[in-house]
Amino acid sequence: MAWTAPYDWSVGEVVTAAKLNEQLRHNMRYLKGLDEDVVIEDDINIGANKLKTTTLYIDEISPTVGGVRRISDNANMGWYISDLQFTSSLIAIVNALTIRAPNADNNYLALQARDNANTLVEIARLQGAADPYFRMTLPQVLLPGTAPGTLVEGHFWYLGADDKLYYRDASANIELVAINGPARGDILYRGAANWLNLAKGTAGYYLQQGADDPAWASGTENVYVASGNLTAGVQNAKIFSWQNTVVSGDILVFLVIVDITTGSTAAATIDVGEAATEVRSDNLMDGEALTNIASMNSIEGAGAASALGVRRVADDQWITGFEGNVDASTDLVGKYYILYALV
């Protein structure tokens, strides 16, 4: 039954059983909680005493800290609440405490913050999985600073002095990236101790490997093309002769293309040699490439063309000059092309 407001008797007033039961019995039952929940309309001060349940109690641990403990051994116990709101710090009072996601497959614990649209958004999470992980949901901001005073393996920092990223391996600081002002066409390569960027080269240049690092080099200064016409009516005669008189150096690449436009090549052969010494002889078949023989390489050119790179069989060196002779039963008309690069 409900609580009844206290009654003030007057001098000489008769105390009836009904009134006495209302004021004493009914209100005492209410205070003991025998009939319904007790509603306290003011503070309860228990001093240094405890509020107890069947197995737990709530007490004052210090003037600034309270706790929930187990009656049997005074061990600190957990407390289930919906939202934890605090006005100062969340402080651990013992070593090696944990913050953990629910102990169930694929459950996670999300870290949220408010955006400027008054919405809480996920920043990161502790994700449960077959191999649990920490996920950065939004981009991470690493503030520039100085290297850690006492470095340990795995340290990762953004050094503000030179705007570079570093990590610490077992024995040294490793610079992750050293790219200042990267632009389209730049190439990333590994330097002596870190990654560097090679700024894009001039159009037409090629990438040249140095003793250690790559560099751009001119793609035209050592590359040459020579060409000429086969004289109309060539038959069993020399069709071209070439000597390296333009620049000095060793020939790195040498290609010869002979493009026959008129005449039957079914019975023709082409002899390519250094001066009068024959190096290569093969049938010049219309529309087919010369076949590979010894240290010679051949590819097919456009139309009825044949091409080969020429080196001496004797010592496998690129030759510095050669001439080509054709043996054919009919007159041949066309062009020849020579492509070479010198080092």
**pLDDT tens across 69-79, in order?**
999 999 999 88
Burial of 42 (0-12, 13-18, 19+ CB in 10 A): exposed
Q: Is residue 280 domain-shared with residue 332, that is, in the same domain? A: yes
Could you list the residue range(s) of the whole structural domain that residue 109 is in?
Answer: 101-141
Confidence of residue 235 (pLDDT cuts 50, 70, 90): confident
Contacts of 105 (CB under 8 A, 6+ apart): 128
Tell whether the model's pLDDT for residue 299 goes beyond 70. Answer: no
Number of structural domains in the chain: 4
Number of H helices, E strands in the chain: 2, 22
Question: Does 108 reside within a domain?
Answer: yes
> Are 172 and 200 contained in the same domain?
no
pLDDT score of 28:
92
Q: What is the pLDDT of residues 100-110, one digit of tens each?
A: 999 999 999 99
pLDDT number for residue 55: 94
Does position 307 have pLDDT exceeding 70, yes or no? no
Question: What is the model's pTM?
Answer: 0.49
What does the pLDDT look like over 149-185, one tens digit per residue? Answer: 899 999 999 888 877 888 888 888 877 765 666 788 8
Same domain, 291 and 201: no
Would residue 316 count as lying in a domain?
yes
Name, in order, each residue with C-beta under 8 angstroms of 241's C-beta and a sequence gap of 6 or more.
321, 322, 323, 324
Q: Which one of 56-65, 111-120, 273-282 scores highest in mean pLDDT?
A: 111-120
Bridge partners of residue 214, in order along the sequence: 209
Give the pair of three-digit tokens for residue 289.
């490439």
Greater confidence (194 vs 38) lies with 38
* 235 & 312 share domain: yes
